[in-house]
Each structure stands twice: as C-alpha cells, then as structure tokens.
Amino acid sequence: MPRRRKPLLLLGVSVLALAWPASCADPVLFPVAKDAATSLYTIPVRDGANHVIDLAGPLLWSTCASDHLPAKFSCGDPVCKLANAYRPPGCREAGQPCKQQCKAYPYNPITGQCAAASLIHTRLVANTTDGKNPLRQVSVRAVAACAPRKLLASLPRDAAGVAGLAASGLALPAQVAASQRVASKFMLCLPRRDEGVAIFGGGPLFLLPESAIGDFTYTTLLSKRGSSSYYLPVKAIAVGKARVPLPRDALATGGVVLGTTAPYTALRADVYRPLVDAFGKALTREWNNTRRVAAVAPFELCYDSKTLPGPTRIGWLVPDIDLVLEGG
Ligand SMILES: *[C@@H]1O[C@H](CO)[C@@H](O)[C@H](O)[C@H]1NC(C)=O
Ligand SMILES: *[C@@H]1O[C@H](CO)[C@@H](O)[C@H](O)[C@H]1NC(C)=O
C-alpha cells in the first residue's frame, strides 16, 4: 500500500439523506438492487438498464448504440463546463483543451479507468411517489455521457453504465431536480438484496406501513476542492464506548469519505491497527472464551463463530464500533 495520505474510510451506508431547500412537485423513485456477484448497488435508469450507483460519481454514463447522435454542446456551453467540473483521478485524457465538440470523461469507480465520451440527451423513466405507493410515471430529461464498452469492465454483467450521485450539475440528483422541479435532495436506502430505493426530491419514506423515516440523526457532509465525493466529519472512533487512541489529525477534515463501491469499510493503516487491537481487547475482556481462527482474506482478525456471543436478530453481541460525528 502506498504511504500517501489517502482518505481514511469508505463507508457502506444503509440510509443516507442529503438535503437542500425544499420545493413542491412529487419526489421521483427508482428501485435499488444489490448485485450478488460484485456487491455493487444498481439502479435501473435509461430504458430500465441497470447502472451502478456511485455516490462520488459526477456523471450519468452508459454505453450507447453505435448509431447514436451526440448532442452538439459547444466548448463554452454551461453543460460542457458542468461535465468537466471534476477531473477523474488518474484520467490522463481529461483536462485537454476543448477544441470543437464538448467531451466528458466518464470514470469506472472499480477499475479506475476513464475514457473520452460525447454527451447525449436522454430520458429516464421512473415513478413519482408519496413515500408509500407509486403515483404516476414520469419521463425525466437528462444529459448522459456515451462511454465505450470497455469502460464496463468489472461492473455487474447486466450493467450498462454508472449513475453518479455526487453534488455536481450532471449527477442524477441535480438532473432530476432540474427536470422535475423537485428539491435538490435525495434519499438512498441501500438494500441487502433488492428492496432498496433512491428517492429524488425529498421524503417522506415509509419503510413499514405506519412509520415514516423521520427519527434520523443528522450530520453535516463536507466537500473538498477538486473532489466530487461526500466527506464525513468524524471526530473519533470508539470501540465498546471507549475511544480508540489514534495518531494526531488522523481524522482531520476530509479524511473520511463516503462511498458505495467498496463492500467493506476500508481504513488507512495508521487507523486500522489501533482499531483492530482495541476491538480484539474489548471482545476478550467481555467474552473470555472466544477463539481466534486462521485469517480469511481480506480480513485478518477472525473468530470461530461458535465461540462468539449471539447471533441475535440484529447481529453478533460483540463490542460496537462507533464513528463519533461532529455534534455528537
Ligand atoms: C411504476 O409503478 C408501476 C406500479 O407499481 C410498476 O409496474 C412500474 O414498473 C413502475 N415503473 C417504473 C419505471 O419503475
Ligand atoms: C472468564 O469469565 C468468567 C465469568 O464471565 C469467569 O468466571 C472466569 O474466571 C473467566 N476466566 C478467565 C480465565 O478470566
């Protein structure tokens, strides 16, 4: 692993709501599924074809039919500026001066590949919702990038592209907000298998017949110059309610990034080691007959489940790992 200061965490979140000022039209719902083979989340936008959800992605991109007609966006067009507001990491082609027709640079968040692509006008079919039931079908105008097929490497077999959910002009939230005149906010409820939803334009969302999601705990999301990712203000990490001693500034602003494309939380080595040590100690302090077993990659600290407390409906009764956020 390079020793460069990398963002610390990639968090798989289960429910995430991002808010801007409110408006009036009905929110727009897309179903969300999880691909069993890759653990990636998908959303059926553009002719019902699945697109991988990338919380940090600034574009909507798909492969296009060979006879598609690219939209003619000039270099000075505001849409062209939005398409190039973020340069994908490691994308050498991006950043070349725009000559005649605008190019976008779609990015595969799994392989890190990118490619130059033209932009097209498209329509996304979805239902509006009152939080319980679909209300009516709508056709959402959007601008998408047309990527070459090779950019689909390592994505689920049925995926035709990537749907970016970043806070940028050509990501899905802003495009749905502009087309449907709904609020610029979205709710993402990630499924274990296939009952998830993405709702653009606000809530409510009723997960159970009688209960609206309302009792959220909120925290501020942060952004970082030149990056389209959402960052979390994590102040400390606790194991079994005790703070894990970490190097100074290990969690400094912009150190913790939210993501939907890694199946586990990933930690930088200087945070991983103290956390794993604290967890092992806290577990044996509470349950002194747990038995360690050989590591199972990619994990290192593994236990014989027969010696662990639980499981219960909500999981194993092992020490909690809490991310302590700004504001408590
Ligand atoms: C809209 O809702 C109807 C009724 O539940 C459903 O059959 C249809 O597939 C939905 N359309 C989309 C695009 O999700
Ligand atoms: C393990 O815990 C039990 C009760 O929780 C205690 O009676 C026993 O002495 C402990 N054993 C060791 C080796 O600490």
Element at 105 (helix H, strand E) = none
Ligand 1 atom 3, closest CA: 134
CA distance 328 to 320: 16
Q: Is-contact 12 260, C-beta < 8 A?
A: yes
Q: For residue 47, what pLDDT is reported?
A: 75
pLDDT at 136 over 50: yes
Question: Which CATH number does the domain 230-325 belong to among 3.40.50.150, 1.20.1250.20, 2.40.70.10, 1.20.1070.10?
Answer: 2.40.70.10
Out of 53-67, 183-197, 199-213, which region has the weakest mean confidence (pLDDT)?
Answer: 199-213
| Cβ neighbourhood burial of 247 (10 Å; 0-12, 13-18, 19+) | exposed
pLDDT of 104 > 70? The answer is: yes
Cα of 241 vs centre of ligand 2, distance in Å, is 22
Ligand 1, atom 5, residue with closest C-alpha:
134
In this prediction, what percent of the chain has a pLDDT beyond 90?
61
Give the ligand 1 atom nearest the CA of 125. Answer: 13
- The atom of ligand 1 lying closest to the CA of 137 is 1
Report the CATH fold assignment for 18-207: Cathepsin D, subunit A; domain 1 (2.40.70)
Instruction: Please state the rounded mean pLDDT for residues 27-50.
Output: 92
Pairing mode of beta strands 159-164, 60-63: antiparallel
Q: Which residues pair with 62 in a beta bridge?
A: 146, 161
- pLDDT value of position 46: 78
Q: Any idea which ligand is nearest the CA of 289?
A: 2
Q: Give the per-residue pLDDT at 11.
A: 45
pLDDT at 109 over 80: yes
What's residue 20's pLDDT? 47
Distances (CA, A) of 2 to 6, 109, 228, 261: 9, 19, 22, 20
Per-residue confidence at 217, pLDDT binned at 50, 70, 90?
Answer: confident
* pLDDT of 7 over the 70 cut: no
The pTM for the full model equals 0.85
Q: How confident is the model at residue 96 (pLDDT cuts 50, 70, 90)?
A: confident
Worst-scoring range by mean pLDDT, 36-50, 198-212, 217-231? 198-212
pLDDT per residue over 287-312, tens digit each?
Answer: 989 999 999 998 999 999 999 998 98
Ligand 1 contact via 135 beta carbon (within 6 Å)? no
Separation of CA 291 and ligand 2 centre (Å): 14
In angstroms, the CA 126 to CA 271 distance is 42
Residue nearest to atom 7 of ligand 1 (CA): 134
Instruction: Determine if ligand 1 sits within 6 Å of the CB of residue 127.
Output: yes
Please list the residue range(s) of the chain that carry CATH number 2.40.70.10: 18-207, 230-325
Among 227, 215, 175, CA closest to 198: 175
At residue 127, the pLDDT reads 95
Q: What confidence tier does 214 reach under pLDDT thresholds 50, 70, 90?
A: low
91 vs 22, residue with greater confidence: 91
